[in-house]
Amino acid sequence: MDEFMKLAISEARKGLKEGGIPIGSVLVKDGKVVSHGHNKRVQENNPILHGEMDCLNNAGRIGSYRNTVIYSTLMPCYMCAGTIVQFKIPKVIVGESRTFSGARAFMEEHGVEVVDLDLAECKKMMEDFIKEKPELWNEDIMEL
């Protein structure tokens, strides 16, 4: 596992410790970390502050995203995938997609390369969270 996914996992664990949903993200440009973030929907009472959105918000204005890669511990949802497509981020590397299949096909249909690492660590973190807090998870994915 590379250092960027390790940082994304660290962000997810930080969110979990804060009482939130354990999804972390890292934005890399030209091999260097530009920003990182984690899901803060619960912590900041903000329905759109998913891990990828927090990460991109923390990046600020960086001009072009064409030479970037975004890492996420979980396959992005349609909202985050739409932002990835809109910003023309060419590559997404995810920790897993078994607990949430997300919007992989949508991103690929729009030219985004999606790499699913299928990491046991990411899968276990989400499975444990979903088991412990199903109502919070269902709220996050709009399945209430």
3, 11, 44, 52: which one is catalytic?
Answer: 52
Nearest-angstrom CA–CA distance, 20 and 114: 26
Whether residue 97 contacts residue 116, with contact meaning beta carbons closer than 8 Å, is answered with yes
Max CA separation in the chain (angstroms): 40
61-65 long-range Cβ contacts below 8 angstroms, 24+ apart: 62/29, 62/34, 64/88, 65/29, 65/89
Q: Could you tell me if residue 68 is left (phi over 0), alpha (psi between -120 and 50 degrees) or otherwise beta?
A: beta
Whether residue 36 contacts residue 59, with contact meaning beta carbons closer than 8 Å, is answered with no
Verify whether residue 52 is a known catalytic residue: yes
Q: Return the residue matching tokens 């660290």.
A: 10
Catalytic residues: 52
